Amino acid sequence: DTEVTQTPKHLVMGMTNKKSLKCEQHMGHRAMYWYKQKAKKPPELMFVYSYEKLSINESVPSRFSPECPNSSLLNLHLHALQPEDSALYLCASSQDPRTVTATNEKLFFGSGTQLSVL
């Protein structure tokens, strides 16, 4: 299994709603990532989890709350979002957070959750 699975594929929510995005991988990867991608723009790093601990937070607003319950799962809890938060949210994983830059290391991306905030 070389897949990163994200659910839901599409999500529409109001500014007062609370929702969660889910990401799952069964490749034994110990680094997991959240990226945000606006239309026609490159993915922007939000969070990195390394061995289930938050290692990087790229100054993301607190209305986005990541959680890594175990080594296979990554959640992104959403609360009081703004319309400008509408984007494709991508989850990724890599085998070892210490070697993501090594020759044979790569990020495996999920297909993303397309989020619309009304």
Q: Report in angstroms how near the CB of residue 45 gets to another protein at its nearest.
A: 6
Q: Which stretch binds another protein (CB under 8 A): 13-21, 31-39, 65-73, 75-83?
A: 31-39
108 in Cβ contact with 93 (< 8 Å): yes
- Asked if 43 touches another protein (CB under 8 A), the answer is yes
d(CA 105, CA 42): 20
Q: How far apart are CA 48 and CA 58, in angstroms?
A: 9
At position 83, the amino acid (one-letter code) is P
Which parts of this chain interact with another protein (CB under 8 A)? 4, 31, 33, 35, 40-45, 48, 50, 55-56, 88, 90, 92, 97-107, 109-112, 114
